[in-house]
Amino acid sequence: EEQLVESGGGLVQPGRSLRLSCTASGFSIGDYALNWVRQAPGKGLEWIGFIRTKGYSATTEYAPSVRDRFTISRDDSNGIAYLQMNSLKTEDTAVYYCARDAEWFVRFYYKAMDVWGHGTTVTVSS
């Protein structure tokens, strides 16, 4: 079964850093781009960024709300993606999900997030 499992969440003070991990099983993580998505308490889903495959130089894209503070990286040999979060703010409190980026050809290429983890909770509070 293809799975993603997030880990590394916890309670952290504002201004501090935290690194989340996303571990894949049942498929080769190196074949896919990977997204990070979060859900703040009582709110909807928010895309925060993704990392392309090494075939596309593992380049990254980020939402404006986290650009310059968050960094996504990947270790394909160990089947793990990371989300490094620096200068954390109380508004970063959320459940963080990683999600695999799948692509289909239906006249054109289309993308969607087809495999998700169950999430890890990050609480930023003093």
Partner 1 sequence: DIQMTQSPSSLSASIGDRVTITCRASQSIGYSLNWYQHKPGTAPKLLVFAASNLQSGVPSRFSGSGSGTDFTLTIHSLQPEDVGTYYCQQSYSIPLTFGGGTKVGIK
Binding site for partner 1 (CB under 8 A): 35, 37, 44-47, 50, 61-64, 97, 99, 102, 104, 106, 108, 110-114, 116-119
Rounded to the nearest whole angstrom, what is the least distance from the CB of residue 119 to partner 1 in the complex?
7
Rounded to the nearest whole angstrom, what is the least distance from the CB of residue 88 to partner 1 in the complex?
20
Query: Which residues contact residue 44 at a Cβ distance below 8 angstroms, ignoring those fewer than 6 apart?
Result: none
Q: How far is CA 79 from CA 28, 34, 94, 100, 105, in A?
A: 7, 11, 24, 12, 26
Give residue 2's identity as a one-letter amino acid code.
E
Rounded to the nearest whole angstrom, what is the least distance from the CB of residue 50 to partner 1 in the complex?
8
Q: Which is nearer to partner 1, 99 or 122 (CB)?
A: 99
Q: Which is nearer to partner 1, 54 or 118 (CB)?
A: 118
Q: Which is nearer to partner 1, 10 or 15 (CB)?
A: 10
Distance CA 89, CA 112 (A): 29
What single-letter DSSP state applies at residue 52? -
